[in-house]
Amino acid sequence: MGATGIIGAFNALEDGGAVNGVVRARDVEGLKGERFRVYEHFSQRLVVADPNQAIPRNSALTRRRCLSWCPSKRDSRLSV
């Protein structure tokens, strides 16, 4: 199991226009593992994701996201 990481995603557009994108475990420098528990602090949602699995970022739904990434064992019972 590797270290944990945090990604903060914010909409910095002055007009508040929608911004769409994705974040992945591989976006966290030095994070290692085959599966990750991903906790979104503001919505308090928890999912399990693979390293290349895209977690959507849609600012039309929320202006900010704070995602904590923690390596998880392969046999985790949680699913996306």
pLDDT above 70 (res 9): yes
pTM of the entire predicted model: 0.74
Q: pLDDT tens, 16-25?
A: 677 778 889 9
Least confident of 12-16, 30-34, 53-57: 12-16
Give me 40's structure tokens: 């979104």
* Rounded Cα–Cα distance for residues 24 and 19 (Å): 17
* Rounded Cα–Cα distance for residues 20 and 68 (Å): 19
* Rounded Cα–Cα distance for residues 7 and 24 (Å): 9
Extents of the domains making up the chain? 5-72
